[in-house]
């Protein structure tokens, strides 16, 4: 039996319990996956309270960086992007890794994007670093728009081959010229940028959020006739990889993603 949970704060909006439960039922696996409110600084205490019945944990804000300091076994990729969203219990110890990078990769591929030219990443946190690592190698240039200069070093470490630039938050003219925009900001942070969107955008806009649904930025971009990728795609594809890690089963991705999306849209009250 799989015993797992998603941890973070706030966590009440998370669709991960729904998606994981659907996946385990489809795979014929008995599973118990819940959500637990864990604030910054509380992760280690929670891990110490877990007995050997636990299989794995999904991590969201604000725990992805904290996980690196409370686990000894950290994957090379999670260490490079300084972020882990997955913990798996092996022989009584927690192993930290990331499925966010592969989640971005599979979400982009599902929309036919395996080469993306110039990419703009909005935000500079853990999700931005995962996006940068996923685009590294398929993008010729990655530009990061962020308010904080303190995150430049960590973002630089996430990119190994693409050209990397940093611009100020108010330098929104670049939005008109890039091929792919990935917004990784918290709820409401990118809404102000919607006023700067071109009348007839040509690039693809990828917003990692699904709360609210849809985001103002994503809705504005779509209404102006350009392609979008929504936060459900990232949630679903990183979740599929977590299910595989927890269960040890290789998953047929396309039908599982379609099944998860169908139920997630119902939960969000959408019919599209």
Average pLDDT score over residue span 82-91: 96
Name the pTM for this structure. 0.95
Q: Which CATH class is domain 112-226?
A: alpha beta
CATH 3.40.50.10860 corresponds to the domain 2-101+233-267? yes
169, 145 contact by CB (below 8 A) = yes
Within this chain, domains 2-101+233-267 and 112-226 share the same CATH topology: yes
pLDDT at 270: 56
Residue 145 to residues 1, 23, 132, 177, 250: CA-CA distances in angstroms?
Answer: 43, 36, 12, 14, 37
Residue 103 to residues 50, 225, 253: CA-CA distances in angstroms?
Answer: 27, 25, 11
Question: Residue 59 has which token pair?
Answer: 């991590």
Tens digits of residue pLDDT in 204-244: 999 999 999 999 999 999 999 999 999 999 999 999 999 99
Whole-angstrom distance, CA of residue 72 vs CA of residue 259: 35
Q: Break the chain into its structural domains and give their ranges.
A: 2-101+233-267, 112-226
pLDDT at 18: 98
């Amino acid at each position: 039996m799989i015993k797992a949970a998603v941890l973070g704060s706030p966590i009440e909006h998370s669709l991960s319990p729904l998606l994981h439960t659907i996946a385990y039922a489809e795979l014929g696996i008995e599973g118990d996956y819940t959500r637990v409110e864990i604030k910054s600084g509380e992760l280690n205490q929670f891990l110490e309270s877990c007995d050997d019945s636990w299989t794995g944990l999904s991590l969201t804000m604000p725990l992805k960086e904290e996980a690196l300091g409370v686990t000894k076994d950290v994957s090379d990729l999670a260490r490079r992007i300084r972020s882990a969203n997955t913990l798996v219990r092996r022989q009584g110890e927690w192993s930290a890794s990331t499925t966010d990078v592969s989640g971005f990769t599979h979400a982009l591929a599902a929309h036919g994007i395996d080469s993306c030219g110039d990419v703009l990443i909005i935000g500079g946190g853990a999700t931005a670093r995962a996006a940068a690592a996923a685009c590294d190698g398929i993008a010729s240039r990655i530009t990061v728009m962020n308010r904080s200069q303190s995150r430049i070093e960590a973002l630089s470490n996430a990119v190994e081959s693409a050209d990397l630039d940093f611009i100020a938050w108010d330098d929104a003219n670049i939005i008109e010229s890039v091929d792919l925009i990935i917004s990784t900001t918290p709820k409401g942070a990118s809404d102000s940028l919607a006023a700067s969107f071109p009348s007839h955008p040509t690039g693809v806009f990828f917003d990692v959020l699904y709360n609210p649904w849809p985001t103002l930025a994503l809705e504005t971009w779509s209404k102006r006739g350009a392609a979008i990728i929504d936060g459900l795609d990232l949630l679903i594809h990183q979740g599929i990889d977590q299910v595989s890690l927890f269960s040890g089963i290789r998953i047929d991705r396309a039908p599982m993603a379609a099944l998860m999306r169908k139920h997630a849209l119902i939960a969000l009250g959408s019919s599209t």
